[in-house]
Amino acid sequence: MQLDPRRLRVLRAVAVRGGVMEAARLLHLTPSAVSQQLAQLEHEVGLPLLDRSRRRISLTAAGRLLAERAERIEHELAEARRDLTALSGRVSGPVVVAAFPTAIRHLLVPAFAALARTHPDVRPSVVELEGPPALHELRTGAVDVVIAESDAPEPARQGLAAVALADDDYRITVPTVWTPAPRTIRELADRPWVAAPPDSACGQALDRLATKHRFSARRAHTCLEFPAVLALVAGGHGAAILPTLALADLDDDAVTVTSVPIEGFRRLTAVRRAPRSGPEPVAAILIDALREAAQGVGLTPAR
């Protein structure tokens, strides 16, 4: 019995992605090509590998067995890549990153520029994606690194590792037309706020601030995207809590970044898969470049 390792990889992709269409997207193939590879693998094995009797395709017992073997082969290949990198000292290959807009703009762009100088054989690419969808893409192999944000310690995720990049301190911004600029929280207690959604890091920061200083924040507006928040602040519509990264290239004279003290920060992390043999070299190189980019824009090293 001859087994083509390339077809085993296709079967593994179907197993981890949950279907032919998703496997095709992961492998950059057409669904027809994936189906043909699976049919040829079934011919080589002499057993059905997919149960096609249901609306959603699933693996048979033989399919699951081969998919598990394919997983081991992938791990062995990853170890081989690590060994060759250690031997040659040369890192190469693609690395796909999922991130949110401010991280793309202020961390990934400079990190990619640094990699082009120091590791020209690394081929990075970015997908704008965050939260659970990004972690799903990471677990199932479509991306290699996810840049995540949190204002609390990251819980352990099975099979994944979170590497701290930096702490992004919160700042309070107000319209410049508010004169004199507020110097204490008490001076802001009765003012309107451009608030982030309650389940977001900035939204939770405002909740903590209001609780600690015993006032009820008047949420005049609710916005998630930082440019929209800054536009409303510039228009005189309220104060806002923003992370330092969102203010990295602020040049709007209509917005004042106050000196009002505020506790807390959001932790920026790079989440990667955590095989027993260690991280993929391209992922490790990218994470190092992201740390340097975070320092370059003035973020605080992870506490």
Task: State the pLDDT at residue 288.
Answer: 95
Top-confidence residue, 28 or 258: 258
Mean pLDDT over residues 80-103, rounded? 83
Q: List beta partners, residue 95.
A: 124
Query: Quick one: pLDDT band at residue 223, thresholds 50, 70, 90?
Result: very high
Say how many C-beta atoms besides its own lie within 10 A of residue 15's C-beta: 21
Within 8 A by CB and 6+ apart from 94, the residues are 122, 123, 124, 125, 282
Within 8 A by CB and 6+ apart from 252, the residues are 230, 234
**pLDDT above 60 for 3:** yes
Mean pLDDT over residues 16-23, rounded? 84
Task: State the pLDDT at residue 117.
Answer: 95
Task: State the pLDDT at residue 165.
Answer: 95
Torsion angle defined by CA atoms of residues 143, 147, 148 and 153, in that order, rounded to the nearest 10 degrees: 110
Task: State the pLDDT at residue 289.
Answer: 96
Q: Could you say which DSSP state residue 299 is in?
A: P
Top-confidence residue, 86 or 281: 281
Q: Which of 79-93, 113-127, 200-214, 246-260 has the lowest mean pLDDT?
A: 79-93
Specify the pairing of strand 122-128 against strand 50-51: unpaired
Mean pLDDT over residues 71-92, rounded? 76
Task: State the pLDDT at residue 154.
Answer: 54
**pLDDT above 90 for 34:** no
Task: State the pLDDT at residue 156.
Answer: 53
Mean pLDDT over residues 32-39, rounded? 87
**pLDDT above 70 for 1:** no
**pLDDT above 70 for 181:** yes
**pLDDT above 90 for 15:** no
b/e burial code for range 195-232 (CB count within 10 A of at least 16 → b)? bbeeebbbbbbbeebbeeeeeebebeeebeebeebbbb
* Phi and psi at residue 225, to the nearest 5°: -80, 130
Q: Which of 121-135, 147-161, 282-296 has the lowest mean pLDDT?
A: 147-161
Mean pLDDT over residues 261-273, rounded? 91
C-alpha closest to that of 201 among 266, 153, 296, 135: 266
- pLDDT tens digits for range 137-172: 898 888 999 999 876 555 556 788 899 999 999 999
Within 8 A by CB and 6+ apart from 108, the residues are 97, 99, 124, 126, 147, 290, 293
Mean pLDDT over residues 101-128, rounded? 95
Domains recognised in the chain with CATH numbers: 5-84 (1.10.10.10), 92-159+278-296 (3.40.190.10), 168-266 (3.40.190.10)
Q: Which of 84-93, 105-114, 190-199, 224-233 has the lowest mean pLDDT?
A: 84-93
Task: Give SS3 for 139.
Answer: helix
Output the average pLDDT for the chain: 88
- pLDDT tens digits for range 58-71: 888 988 888 888 88
**pLDDT above 80 for 55:** no
Task: State the pLDDT at residue 171.
Answer: 95
Mean pLDDT over residues 240-244, rounded? 95
